[in-house]
Amino acid sequence: MEGRLLLKNCAVFRADGRVRTGMALVVQDGLIRRVAPDSEVPVLPGDWEVACRGRLVAPGLVDCHTHLVGGQVLPPTGNFLLRAPSARLERRTEVAALLTVGEVEALTRFALAQALRDGISLVVEHLAAPGNVAGALDAQARAAEQLGIRLVTSHATHSLSGDGPAAACLEANADFARRYRTHPLVRGALGFQTSHTCEDTLLRQVGVLAQELEVPVVFHLAEGEDDLAVTYARHGKRVVPRLAELGLLGPRSIAARARSIDTGEAERLVATGTFVALSPRAHLTSERAGESLEAVLARHHLVGLGTSGHGTLWDEVLAAFVGLMRIARAGRLPDPDGALAQLLVSGPAELCTRLFQAPSGTIVEGCIADLAVYDYVPASDPETGYSPHLLGQLARSRVAWTIVNGRVAVREGQLLGVDYAELAADASAALASIWTRASLTG
């Protein structure tokens, strides 16, 4: 797109959660160039004017941990959840090994299209496709480039990778990360599944490669009591100390879930600068998981929300709000609004800034132009930031426009350049093919 993108008569969502109405935004070369009262910003020849008509403009959302493909192939429903954890892992591995590159691409395109329609501008993916790691990661990169969304993707390699030996999976992942270190939209990361599925030799190699390539590492951190118990039985350590000793915690680490950690381990995450991607809905299912949520939120500012491949980011916001209110009412969290702001805006903004080396997450001049325009016209300058009313309105509102890196990806609810119904049909056909083959082999 040549020239300027000009958002007229909009309400700007500020960093403190409040709103400033009657504003205009100038976007050019992927950055926010000007934020000023609407009357001070005329439309110039060549501008692409977006008539916001008082609607709210907010920073694009970040899904800090997801499974774009796995979340569709193995949803958390039905008899699958009744199996023992080892049986679930075995079945996940079997099905992941069946994926073709074309199926990975079809499922990724559909999931990314859904994300864009929800106002998400950056997705951190944790892919499992051991049958063809290189082809699958390249397919995801193509999908992100076509749709115009930021994507950080890695492979969830583990020592039980069946059809794809761990060393070969990791090398393919590393080659992808090497090639996508500076792409404007797609960044490669190294990945492993979780502590109890990985031997020390594999994890040491992940740490060495991450340091050599200077790329992020994505993994599940203490994802449950099974992970904790098996890790301790095999290695004589809890999950967080083990990964710390292997050099896998630090500023380039994106640790997901964190369902079984204690206060000391939360402090260790803070000390190492590890980013934690939480899925609060999972934390509400048990008392121990709730304790872990409190341990992280009471001490950590490098946190964000992730869907883990299921539901929407707004589902996670609601669960986070419920969890924060429980902790606050018990007198153990003095600033629940601030904690919610960290989860929804500040933490994800820091993550995006780390990954793309550019200021993000606020609507100020010089920040990257990752924006969402909601079909919601707010009142002028509400007194309370991050209020349940404001967040509830956004959760129920359609995203009219999604802008990523200064380019329009969704215009008045419609994807640009692709047909959403066709993407849905392609994904449905891919799932049917996968499950036909899975039933024949299972």
pLDDT band at 441 (very low <50, low <70, confident <90, very high): low
Measured torsion, CA atoms of residues 177, 240, 96, 115, in degrees rounded to the nearest 10: -70
The answer to whether residue 419 is domain-embedded is: no
Looking at the structure, tell me whether residues 327 and 376 fall in a common domain.
no
78: left (phi over 0), alpha (psi -120 to 50) or beta: left
The answer to whether residue 439 is domain-embedded is: no
Looking at the structure, tell me whether residues 207 and 283 fall in a common domain.
yes
Which domain CATH number covers 215? 3.20.20.140
Domain total of the chain: 2
pLDDT band at 86 (very low <50, low <70, confident <90, very high): low
End-to-end CA distance of the chain, in Å? 49
Looking at the structure, tell me whether residues 212 and 332 fall in a common domain.
yes
Looking at the structure, tell me whether residues 170 and 244 fall in a common domain.
yes
3 state SS of 324: helix
Looking at the structure, tell me whether residues 90 and 31 fall in a common domain.
no
Q: What are phi and psi of 119, to 5 degrees?
A: 85, 15
pLDDT digits (tens, 9 = 90+) for 358-400: 999 999 999 999 999 999 998 765 555 556 677 888 889 999 9
pLDDT band at 98 (very low <50, low <70, confident <90, very high): confident
Looking at the structure, tell me whether residues 191 and 53 fall in a common domain.
no
**Which tokens is 54 given?**
């008082």
Residue 128 CB partners (closer than 8 Å, separation 6+): 67, 69, 70, 92, 93, 96, 155, 156, 193
Query: Is 433 in contact with 425 (CB distance < 8 Å)?
Result: no
Looking at the structure, tell me whether residues 65 and 154 fall in a common domain.
yes
pLDDT given at position 163 = 47
Domain range for 124 is 61-356
Residue written as token pair 């872990």: 292
Q: Which of 1, 7, 88 is nearest to 371 (CA)?
A: 7
Looking at the structure, tell me whether residues 340 and 396 fall in a common domain.
no
Q: What are phi and psi of 170, to 5 degrees?
A: -65, -40
Highest mean pLDDT of the ranges 6-20, 60-74, 150-164, 327-341 = 60-74
Looking at the structure, tell me whether residues 319 and 348 fall in a common domain.
yes
The answer to whether residue 429 is domain-embedded is: no
Measured torsion, CA atoms of residues 320, 224, 257, 196, in degrees rounded to the nearest 10: 180
Q: Cα–chain-centroid distance for residue 437?
A: 30
Report CA torsion sign: 19, 25, 31, 33: negative
User: What percentage of the chain exceeds 90 in pLDDT?
Assistant: 70
What is the distance between the alpha carbons of residues 198 and 205, in angstroms, rounded to a whole number? Answer: 11
pLDDT given at position 76 = 58
What is the distance between the alpha carbons of residues 190 and 218, in angstroms, rounded to a whole number? Answer: 6
Query: Is 187 in contact with 356 (CB distance < 8 Å)?
Result: yes
What is the distance between the alpha carbons of residues 37 and 22, in angstroms, rounded to a whole number? Answer: 6
Which domain CATH number covers 372? 2.30.40.10
Q: Please give the mean pLDDT across all residues of the chain.
A: 89
Query: Is 275 in contact with 216 (CB distance < 8 Å)?
Result: no
Looking at the structure, tell me whether residues 299 and 388 fall in a common domain.
no
* Domain end call among 356, 374, 397: 356
The answer to whether residue 342 is domain-embedded is: yes
Looking at the structure, tell me whether residues 165 and 228 fall in a common domain.
yes
The answer to whether residue 422 is domain-embedded is: no
Q: What is the pTM of this model?
A: 0.93
Q: Cα–chain-centroid distance for residue 331?
A: 30
The answer to whether residue 102 is domain-embedded is: yes
Largest Cα–Cα distance of the chain, in whole Å? Answer: 68
Query: Is 34 in contact with 12 (CB distance < 8 Å)?
Result: no
What is the distance between the alpha carbons of residues 197 and 185, in angstroms, rounded to a whole number? Answer: 31
Least confidently predicted of 59-73, 83-97, 279-293, 416-430: 83-97
The answer to whether residue 278 is domain-embedded is: yes
Looking at the structure, tell me whether residues 330 and 296 fall in a common domain.
yes
The answer to whether residue 425 is domain-embedded is: no
pLDDT band at 118 (very low <50, low <70, confident <90, very high): very high
